[in-house]
Amino acid sequence: MLSFEPYGNPTYFALLGVALLPLMIGLLYGKRSRLYETLISIFFLILTFGGPKWTQGIALIIYILYEVALTWGYAVYRKQKNSGPVFYLMVILAILPLTIVKVTPAVENGQASLIGFLGISYLTFRAVQTMMETRDGTLKDYNIMTFLQFMLFFPTISSGPIDRYRRFEQDYRTVPSREKYLGMIQKGVRYIFVGFLYKFLLAYYFGTILMPKLQIMAMHSRGGFMDLSWPVLGYMYAYSADLFFDFAGYSLFAVGTSYLMGIETPMNFKQPWRSPNIKDFWNRWHITLSFWFRDFIYMRLVFWFMKHRMFKSPRTTANVTYIINMLVMGFWHGVTWYYITYGLFHGVALVVNDAWLRYKKKHRESVPHNRFTQLFAIFLTANLVCFSFLIFSGFLNTLWFTK
C-alpha cells in the first residue's frame, strides 16, 4: 500500500498534478464538480492516512464524526436557545480530543496518544471556530456537507493554513471567472515552485546538512557557562532558518494547491524577518494561527475581562491577556517546559513591546527614529525571535539534561 507524507516527494506531486488536471479544465470552463473533488480528496486522504498509518486513519474518521455531531448539534440548538454554559460545554468537548493528544506524551513518558493523527490541531481550530461563529450568530446556515469539505480539504489538512468556514464556503460555492482563475493558476504554480526552493533546497541545507553538525559540535563543547558555546548560537540560526523554510515551504504548497482548486486559502507567511517589532512579527508569521488566537482567544478574553470589570485599566487587561494568549499557544505546542517557556517569552515580549511603543509615542522628540533605528529594530526583533526558537527547539533540554 502506497503511503505518503503530504508534499513529501516527487511522486506525490506527480499524482497531485494528474489528479488536479481534470478539475482545472473543469474550472476553466466554469464547472466545479463536487463529486470529483470529493473523490480526489478521499484518494489523497487515503494516501496520507492509509497503509501503515491506518490507525491514524481510523482515529481521523472517529474524530470527524465526533466533531460533526458537536457542531451540527450546537447549530441546531443555537437556532432555539443561546445559553452560555451550553456553549462552554460544547467548546470544551470539541477541544477534549486535542487536549488528550497533547497531554498524553507528558504523562505517559513521551508515548503518543492512540486517538491522535497528523493535523488534529488544525482540525480542532476549524471546528471550534465554526462553533464560535455559530454562537455569535455570524454563521447561520451550517451545512454538514460543507463542514465536511471544509474540515477534510486535503491540501491543508495536515498543517494548515487555518481557513475560516464562511470564507471557505464562499469560494467553494462559486466558480471563479476564467480571467480570475487564470490568475490563480499563475499564482498557485509560482507558490508551489517557491515552495520547492524553500522546502527541498533551503530547509534541506539548514535542517539536514547544517543542523546535525552544529548539534554534535555544541554537545562536544559543553562545560562552559550554562553549557553555551558558539555552535549553540549557530544551531539557533540554523534551526530558525530550517523552521521557517520548512513550514513556509509547506504552506506555499498548501496554498498553491488550493489556488489550483479554485479556493483562495489565506497565506501563512508574509516576510516575517522584516518585522520591526514582535507584534508585527505575529502579523507576519504563521498568520492564520496567530489571527485565530487573536480572534478567538485574545479578543474574547479582553471582552470577557472588560465585561466583568476584572482589571481597572485597559492596559492591564491587555497585558494579562497577552500572557494568557501566548501561554495557551505554548501549551498547544505540547506540555513540555520549553514550549511553555517559549509561550511565556513571547507573552512578555508583547507586553514589553507595548510599553516601549507607548513610551516612544509620549517622548516622540527625544527618541530618534531614522533608517538606522529601523534597521536596528528589525535586527533586534529577528534575533529575539531566533532566541525564542532556540527555546522552542527543545535543544536546550538536550544540552542541559542529557548525559
Partner 1 sequence: MAKRLLRIFGPLILAAILVVAVLVSPVTFGFKHVSASEERQAAVSLSPNVLKGKRIKQAALKSDYVPFFGSSEWSRIDPMHPSVLAQKYHRDYRPFLLGARGTQSLTNFFVMQNMQGELRNKKAVFVISPQWFVKDGTRKDAFAFYYSQLQTTEWLSHYRNDAIDRYAAKRLLQMPVAKSDHFLYAALQRVAAGKQLTDNERFYLKTKQNMLTQEDQFFSGINLPSQNLNKVNQQAKKLPTHYDYRQLDQLAGRIGKEQTGNNRFQISDSFYNQGLKQELKTGKLKDFQKNLSYTKSPEFGDFQLVLDQFARLNTNVMFIIPPVNAKWSAYTGLSQSMLRQFDRKIRYQLESQGFHNICDLSDKGNVPYFMTDTIHLGWRGWLAVDQKVDPFLSQPQKQPTYKINDKFYSEKWQQLDPAQLTQYEQETK
Which residues sit at the interface with partner 1, rule CB under 8 A?
Answer: 28, 178, 182, 185-186, 189, 193, 209, 403
C-alpha to C-alpha distance for 268 and 253, rounded to whole angstroms:
11
Which residues, including other chains, have CB under 8 Å from residue 355's CB and lie 6 or more apart?
none
C-alpha to C-alpha distance for 281 and 349, rounded to whole angstroms:
11
Side chain identity, residue 332: W
We find the least distance from the C-beta atom of residue 190 to partner 1, in angstroms, to be 9
Q: What is the CA radius of gyration of the chain?
A: 23
We find the least distance from the C-beta atom of residue 185 to partner 1, in angstroms, to be 6
C-alpha to C-alpha distance for 278 and 382, rounded to whole angstroms:
9
C-alpha to C-alpha distance for 367 and 373, rounded to whole angstroms:
10
The CA-CA-CA angle for residues 86, 90, 96, to 5°, reads 145
Q: Give the three cell numbers for residue 322.
A: 497577552
Please say which residue, 185 or 328, places its beta carbon nearer to partner 1. 185
- 3 state SS of 110: coil
We find the least distance from the C-beta atom of residue 178 to partner 1, in angstroms, to be 7
Task: Name the maximum alpha-carbon separation found in the chain.
Answer: 68
We find the least distance from the C-beta atom of residue 193 to partner 1, in angstroms, to be 8
Q: What stretches of 204-278 adopt beta strand conformation (E)? A: none
Please say which residue, 213 or 274, places its beta carbon nearer to partner 1. 213
We find the least distance from the C-beta atom of residue 175 to partner 1, in angstroms, to be 15
Q: Give the three cell numbers for residue 133.
A: 461563529
Helix axes 178-196, 10-28, angle to 10 degrees: 170
We find the least distance from the C-beta atom of residue 45 to partner 1, in angstroms, to be 21
Cis preceding-peptide flag for 161 (omega within 30 of 0): yes
Please say which residue, 83 or 177, places its beta carbon nearer to partner 1. 177
Please say which residue, 119 or 188, places its beta carbon nearer to partner 1. 188
Point out the catalytic residue in the list 286, 333, 363, 369. Answer: 333
Residues of 95-107 as b/e, b for ≥16 C-beta within 10 angstroms? bebbeebbebbee
We find the least distance from the C-beta atom of residue 182 to partner 1, in angstroms, to be 5
Please say which residue, 185 or 335, places its beta carbon nearer to partner 1. 185
Please say which residue, 144 or 189, places its beta carbon nearer to partner 1. 189
User: By the 8 A CB rule, do 292 and 257 touch?
Assistant: no
Residue 286 is a catalytic residue: no
We find the least distance from the C-beta atom of residue 403 to partner 1, in angstroms, to be 6
Q: For 22, which DSSP code?
A: H
C-alpha to C-alpha distance for 272 and 278, rounded to whole angstroms:
10
User: By the 8 A CB rule, do 159 and 247 touch?
Assistant: yes
What does each C-alpha distance from 41 to 111, 159, 285 come to in angstroms? 30, 16, 28
Please say which residue, 19 or 95, places its beta carbon nearer to partner 1. 19
Please say which residue, 187 or 279, places its beta carbon nearer to partner 1. 187
User: By the 8 A CB rule, do 279 and 346 touch?
Assistant: no
Catalytic residues: 333
